[in-house]
């Protein structure tokens, strides 16, 4: 992730550069601009994911700059720096698409936290864009197949992409409709294709993957059962226990005790 600081006071830039743990914040490259003119040149020359901009600059308003940024580089996320007496400006900045604002004097830990949040949002958006691009390309292939009986469409590749998505998002509320939308196909088509290619329904597959993850986390022994349930996408602990017992024939706590007995037996052997 690349970040551009737009601030006319060099001392503030130096403070931010020294005060923020950029590796911890997930930022690879930090560019600097002490004017809007320089900022525009930087944006045209380098891909910038995040802009951290002051409201008042010597050659113009940071708010006007944000409006320009939204039109020219809509994928770039902006954060505004403001003083306490400029809250009205900060509110307008948010209305212009600014992600958030930082109050001066800057608390670097707070800035790091906001940058981590922005990085997660950008990563999620990029992942979503990749899945949608794959779905659109796949639908093009479907159209070509309908036009020419000799062409073939790799349905297994689509299902592999769907399974990879499921694995990465087991903690979330996984719904067929939502996944189908990401891949630009209908939920009914995705359900039928998944069943045909995998021999099991997509809902059953998700449960199986969650139960496998739960068992592996229990074997590792680094988290409580309630935490494991949450990591596997279950907010209701009782329901998680019920599903787990149906899959493994024992409750999570019995499973952990059984694993512990096996380990002790192996040590004695």
| Rounded-to-integer distance, Cα 228 and Cα 210, Å | 10
CB-based contact 55:63 (threshold 8 Å)? yes
| Rounded-to-integer distance, Cα 1 and Cα 105, Å | 25
**Model pLDDT for residues 42-53, shown as the tens digit of each residue:** 999 999 999 999
Domain(s) labelled CATH 3.40.50.2300 in the chain stretch across 2-119
**Model pLDDT for residues 112-132, shown as the tens digit of each residue:** 999 999 998 888 888 777 777
CB-based contact 96:127 (threshold 8 Å)? no
| Rounded-to-integer distance, Cα 192 and Cα 158, Å | 13
> In what order do the strands lie in the sheet containing 50-54?
29-33, 2-6, 50-54, 77-82, 100-103
Domain(s) labelled CATH 1.10.10.60 in the chain stretch across 154-269
Token couple for 40 = 């525009």
pTM tops 0.75: no
CATH superfamily to which 2-119 belongs: Response regulator (3.40.50.2300)
| pLDDT < 70 regions, the chain | 84-87, 90, 134-136, 138-153, 262-269
Please give the pLDDT value at position 94. Answer: 74
Given its phi and psi angles, is residue 97 left (phi above 0), alpha (psi -120 to 50 degrees) or beta? left
Q: Which CATH architecture has domain 154-269?
A: Orthogonal Bundle (1.10)
Rounded to the nearest 5 degrees, what angle is found at the Cα of 48, between the Cα atoms of 44 and 50? Answer: 135
Distances (CA, A) of 119 to 17, 49, 114, 179, 206: 18, 9, 9, 22, 27
């Amino acid at each position: 992730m690349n970040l551009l600081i737009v601030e006319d006071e060099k001392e503030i830039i130096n403070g931010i550069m020294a005060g923020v743990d950029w590796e911890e914040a997930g930022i690879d490259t930090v560019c600097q601009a002490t004017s809007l003119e320089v900022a525009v040149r930087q944006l045209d020359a380098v891909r910038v994911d995040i802009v951290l901009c002051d409201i008042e600059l010597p050659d113009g308003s940071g708010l006007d700059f944000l409006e320009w940024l939204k039109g020219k580089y809509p994928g770039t996320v902006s954060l505004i720096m403001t003083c306490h007496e400029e809250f009205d400006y900060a509110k307008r900045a948010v209305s212009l698409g600014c992600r958030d604002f930082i109050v001066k004097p800057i608390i670097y830990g707070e800035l790091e936290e906001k940058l981590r949040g922005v990085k997660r949002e950008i990563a999620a958006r990029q992942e979503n864009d990749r899945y949608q691009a794959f779905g659109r390309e796949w639908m093009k292939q479907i159209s070509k197949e309908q036009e020419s009986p000799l062409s073939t469409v790799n349905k297994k590749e689509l299902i592999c992409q769907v399974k990879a998505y499921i694995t990465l998002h087991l903690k979330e509320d996984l719904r067929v409709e939502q996944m189908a939308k990401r891949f630009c196909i209908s939920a009914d088509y995705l359900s039928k294709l998944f069943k045909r290619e995998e021999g099991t329904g997509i809902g059953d597959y998700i449960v199986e993957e969650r139960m496998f993850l739960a068992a592996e986390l229990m074997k590792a022994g680094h988290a409580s059962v309630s935490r494991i349930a949450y990591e596997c996408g279950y907010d209701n602990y009782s329901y998680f226990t019920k599903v787990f017992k149906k899959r493994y024939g024992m409750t999570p706590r019995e499973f952990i005790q059984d694993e512990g007995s096996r380990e002790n037996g192996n040590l004695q052997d």
